[in-house]
Structure formats: structure tokens, C-alpha cells
Structure 1
Amino acid sequence: MDYQFTIIVPIYNEEDNMERLESELTKYLSIASKKTKVLLVNDGSKDKSQTFIETICERNTHFHYIQFEKNCGLSAAIKAGFDHADTPLVGYIDSDLQTAPEDFNLLLEQIEHYDLVTGVRSNRKDSFVKNMSSLIANGIRRAFTNDGMDDTGCPLKVIKTAYAKRIPMFKGLHRFLPAMILLQNGKIIQIPVQHFPRIAGQAKFGLWNRLLGPLADCFAYLWMKKKYINYTVAKKS
């Protein structure tokens, strides 16, 4: 089947969300603006997530999965998705579905003219502490990267796969995807998307992950930016 778009779904201990995840993504596949498949990446879950994942993939031909031997983190799960993608376009969404799969169509409308299209969560349905820590962290990151993005933590993105595969992913750098596309001289844009409260499972990020961790990652990004190799082949035999 000639797929054009792969949706990566990182999963870590989300058994309470799996049935809803299957339902919502199946609905989206019927209205997707491009032929789409789903890659579920189990990041070493310790609950029954893998059982649900295998059942989902057995009864849905458009769903596939990767299972890690152990928990490696969100950046690793996203990178694994990039590495295994075989479609021209790749994107990702969190398994808690605080963003809506149907909003992928809004991002896909713009991807022809850009190399990364990211959502920006309008009217966020998170706690005051979570919203403020994200606001501060985004401000700090934006000062370091000058990427102009207001919400790089938004778990709804579409990227041209050729660019995604060239991103040298390290822990924490999932927050820097727009900046990493800019390092490749790519074009980026942000589009407002819906946001919903988490209704099942537990958040995997606390104050450290959202604020202090990203600050440390900014220095890693600056080092990488200085050392980054970017070339364009003018001619070959």
C-alpha cells in the first residue's frame, strides 16, 4: 500500500489510554488527507500496554509497533520512529491524546511549503504550574535557539522524513525539533491546534522535566549547533 504519512505514537505505561487511542486514530485514518499508517513505539512500558499494542496491530492493518527492551525516554521513542519510517512524511502525537489526531490535517495542509509544521496549543487545558513552567521554558529555549516557536513541547508535528532522519537526536532534544530543522536550512511554521485535559493515565513530566531539564538541554543545543555538519551535494556521478 502506497502510504505517504507515518504517525509515531510514543507509549510508556498508558494501558488506560490504549482503547481510546485505537478508536481515535482509526477514526482519523478514515478522514486523513494523505494515506496514513501508525507506528506505536513502546518505550519499555511496565504495565499491560504491550498486550494492548499487539492486539491493536493484529486487528488493524494500518497499525505497526516497535517495543524497546527497556525505558529509554521520549526522545529515543521519537528517534526510533524516525529511523523506521519509510514514508515521505512523518509526524507524532502523544498517546494521552491531549491533542486531536484530526488536527494533523491542518498541519498537512502546510507541509508542501515547509519542512516542519508544528502545532501550538491554544487555550491549554493544563494546570497553572504546568502552563507557567512550559511558558518559562519555551521563553528560555527561544532565547537560545531563535527559532520563533511558542510551543515546541506541543505533541503534534509533521516533518518531511528526509529532514527528520538527519536530526542527531539526544535525550531532551525532542523539544528542539524546529531548531534542528533550521540547522538544516529548512523552513518551519506553527499552526494553532486544539488541546484537551488528560483524562486517563499519569503525566510523565514534572517541574524538572519541563523547566530545569530544558535549560540544561539549551547548552547541549548550543554545543551541537557549533559542531553541526551541514552540506549540499552540487553534483555526483
Structure 2
Amino acid sequence: MNAVHPVRCARQIEEIVPVISVVVPLHDEAASIAPLTAQILEILAGQAFELILVDDGSEDETRAELLRLARHEPRIRVLGHDRAAGQSAAIHSGARAARGRIVATLDGDGQNPPVNLPALIAPLMDPRRDPALALVAGQRIGRRDTLGRRLASRFANGLRGWLLGDRTRDTGCGLKAFDRAAYLALPYFNHQHRFLPALFLRDGWKIAHVHVTHAPRLAGRSKYTNLGRALVGITDLAGVAWLIRRRKRVTPHEIAAGAGA
């Protein structure tokens, strides 16, 4: 697990306590973040929310751009890692800093259109919801990736689903919403974000799925390769399978003092 210490780069907001915290992990996305942020603020206008932008050790002007945006928008908070630690680390840092009961995530490259956020958040906001529901996972339709990436993703998702039984066909989608407390109780490790459905199910929670749209990158290029994902994915998959097998759930019952005496 990468050890990083997020640095808070923007002022805390005390006036409004948010119900929703939107967390966006970012690495070298200086050209994408302004239009993406504008879309998020527009889509969630009227909601009690905060927007947490996590700079994962960027080497371009991402951090400067984030600070510029935060100066003009009080709902934006900026966190920074002193070095790149990966998407899972950025999401984890953002969730730990979040003040909302519900955390929603999306990638910082613009491929996860913010217009999908209300559909992800709604099931967790519904007062009639099943109290065991803790994760709503987006599943992409009409993917705007190359054929090679789509085929690699289909194979990886099929293998993962067969081995873990996570009932999810597209865990690589960055659009997710979850109960913050339940998420922070999950075992944390590098690349954790790819296995959230399996981990929530492992802890006895229920999950739901929502179809979401997909878009081309706003700028730049992907930081992942099919080979790179495959090499780390094999180890991660074996590790998560082990975690699931070793999980033992019990229901504690309070025993009154003197009982059995």
C-alpha cells in the first residue's frame, strides 16, 4: 500500500454541511479540470454538496489550476499528494476528508460525464431505500474507447466476475456513489477502486447498478495500458479472492452484566 500524506490546499468550508461529497482523482489533467468542474457544479446546483479535487502528484499545471478554481468557488476543496500514488489512493484520501454522508466519484479526464451523477446519488438519498444498500455502481454503455481496450476490459471483467461473484459487468467505471462510513471500513490497498462491488458484498452490504454514458477524453491521454492493467490485475484479483474467502461475519449480541452467573 502506498503511504501518502494528502496536503489540504484550499480553505475549509464551515457554512454549509454537505450531504454529498464528489471526489475527483487527478493526475496531469490541467487541461480537463476546468470544463469538468463547471459541469459538476451545474449538474448539482441546488444540492448540499462539496467538490473535492485530489491532485495525485501531478507533474503539469494541475495543482495550480485547481487552486485557481478553488479561489473562485467556495464549494471546491483541493487535496494534494506529495507524489503519485494511484487512483485508489486519491479516492481514499478524498473520502477520508469528505464531510458528506454520500461520496460520489468520477474520473478527472472527462470520460465520465457528470450528467450521470444524479442517477447514481438518488438511490442512496431515497428515504425508502434498503438500509443495507451502500454502493451504486455505474456501468458504461456506448463506450468511447478503442476496440483493444474494450476487448481487454470485457475479458478482465468476465474473469473477475467469475472468480469473485461481484455481480458487476463493469467495475472499471469511475462513476460510483457509496456510503462513506461503509467505504472507509473496507480493507484498503492499491487498486482497491477496481474491486469495490466485491468488497462491499464481502462486508454484507447490497449494491445497485445504473447505466451511465461515456465520452472521449477532454484532453491528454490515458495513463494506463492493457499490459500494465493485466500485470497488476492478476495479483490484485488473487488478493481480493483471498480476502473474500477469509472473511467471517458474526453478529454480536450485548450480554447483560451478571448474565449466566
State TM-score, norm by structure 1: 0.93
CA-atom RMSD in angstroms: 1.7
- Structure 1: state its 5+ residue gaps: none
In 2, the alpha carbon distance for the partners of 1:208 and 1:171 equals 17
- 1:103 counterpart = 2:121: no
Corresponding position of 2:9: none
Corresponding position of 1:185: 204
- Structure 2: state its 5+ residue gaps: 1-15, 257-261
Corresponding position of 1:120: 139
Corresponding residue SS for 2:44 = helix
Corresponding residue SS for 1:15 = coil
Contact 1:183 1:230 in 2 (8 A): no
- 1:56 counterpart = 2:69: yes
Task: Give the deviation of 1:82 after TM superposition.
Answer: 1.8
In 2, the alpha carbon distance for the partners of 1:230 and 1:52 equals 45
Contact 2:44 2:118 in 1 (8 A): no
Q: How does 1:144-155 map to 2 (within 5 A)?
A: 144-155=163-174
- 1:43 counterpart = 2:56: yes
Q: Which moved more, 1:44-53 or 1:101-110?
A: 101-110
Corresponding residue SS for 1:56 = helix
In 1, the alpha carbon distance for the partners of 2:254 and 2:157 equals 40
Contact 1:83 1:165 in 2 (8 A): yes
User: CA separation of 1:90/1:75 partners in 2, compared to 1, >3 Å: closer, same or farther?
Assistant: same
Instruction: Indicate the structure with greater helix content.
Output: 1
Pair member with larger Rg:
2
The residue type equivalent to 1:4 in the other structure is: V
- 1:78 counterpart = 2:97: no
The residue type equivalent to 1:39 in the other structure is: I
Q: 1:13 aligns with which of 16, 28, 31?
A: 28
Corresponding position of 1:67: 80
Q: How does 1:133-212 map to 2 (within 5 A)?
A: 133-212=152-231
Corresponding residue SS for 1:14 = coil
User: CA separation of 1:151/1:38 partners in 2, compared to 1, >3 Å: closer, same or farther?
Assistant: same
In 2, the alpha carbon distance for the partners of 1:236 and 1:60 equals 51
- 1:89 counterpart = 2:102: yes
Corresponding residue SS for 1:118 = strand
- 1:130 counterpart = 2:149: yes
Task: Give the deviation of 1:216 after TM superposition.
Answer: 2.0
State TM-score, norm by structure 2: 0.85
